[in-house]
Amino acid sequence: MDTQPAWAFPEQMRLEGDGIQLREWAEDDVAALVELYDDPEIDRWTPIVSPFDTLAARSYLSDARAARAEGRKMQLAITTDGVRARGEVLLFRSDADARDAEIGYGVAAPFRGRGLATRSVRLLATYATRRLRPRRVVLRIEEANTASAGVARASGFELTEDEPVFRPAKGREVVLRTWSYGGEG
C-alpha cells in the first residue's frame, strides 16, 4: 500500500524552457494522441495499447484526467509552440520506490530526432526536483532501448547500480534499468 501522500500538482500546469512548452492535454488533442501512440516503436517500448485509435485516445485522456485529479500522475503534451502536440511527458510516483518520482515520455514519429524528448525530460525533471522534492527523479528503460538511453544521458540522467525492475507488459515481463537525474547537466 502506498503510504506516501498524493503530490499537490498545480491546478493547471504549463512549463516552458529550452524551446519546449509542456501543457495539459485537451479534448481537441485526440488526433495528436493517435499520431503519437499508434506507432510500432511506441508499441515496442511502452505498455500503451496497440492499435491506438480514437476510442483508445479518448479513454487515455479520461484515465489521465482521473490520475491527475487523484494526484497520482501528471501527463503533459510536448509542444514547441504551445499548441501542436508532438509527444508526451509524464510524471508519477514510482511503483518501485514511492519516494522516487518517475518520468516517462514518447515523441511522435515525425518529430523524433529533434531533441524534444531530451529537453522535455530535463524540464520536467528540474520541475520535479525543485517542487516535489522526491528522494530522486528516475527513468526506467529497457536495456535494448538505446534511443531512450541516449535521451537519458543527454537530459542529465546517469545509469544507477539499482537492481533491475521487472514489470509485466503486453504478456511479457519487461526488465528495466534505473537512471537517476543528476541535476541540470
- Distance between CA 84 and CA 60 in Å, rounded? 18
Q: Percentage of residues in the chain with pLDDT exceeding 90?
A: 64
| Cβ–Cβ under 8 Å, residues 127 and 32 | no
* Cell numbers representing residue 51 in the block: 492499435
Is residue 169 scored above 90 in pLDDT? no
Span 46-57, pLDDT tens digits: 778 788 899 999
Q: Which of 19-23, 130-134, 163-167 has the highest mean predicted lDDT (pLDDT)?
A: 19-23
- In sequence order, the 6+-apart residues with CB closer than 8 A to the CB of 68 are 9, 74, 75
Span 100-122, pLDDT tens digits: 999 999 998 889 999 999 999 99
Pairing of strands 73-79, 20-24: antiparallel
- In sequence order, the 6+-apart residues with CB closer than 8 A to the CB of 116 are 20, 78, 80, 86, 87, 107
Domain boundaries, the chain: 14-181
Q: Percentage of residues in the chain with pLDDT exceeding 70?
A: 95
- In sequence order, the 6+-apart residues with CB closer than 8 A to the CB of 180 are 136, 137, 138, 157, 158, 160
- Distance between CA 77 and CA 22 in Å, rounded? 6
Give the per-residue pLDDT at 183: 61
Instruction: Give domain 14-181's CATH superfamily.
Output: Gcn5-related N-acetyltransferase (GNAT) (3.40.630.30)
- In sequence order, the 6+-apart residues with CB closer than 8 A to the CB of 181 are 125, 129, 136, 137, 138, 155, 156, 157
| Cβ–Cβ under 8 Å, residues 140 and 46 | no
- Residue 96 dihedral angles phi and psi, to the nearest 5°: -80, -35
- Environment class of 13 (CB within 10 Å of its CB; exposed 0-12, middle 13-18, buried 19+): middle
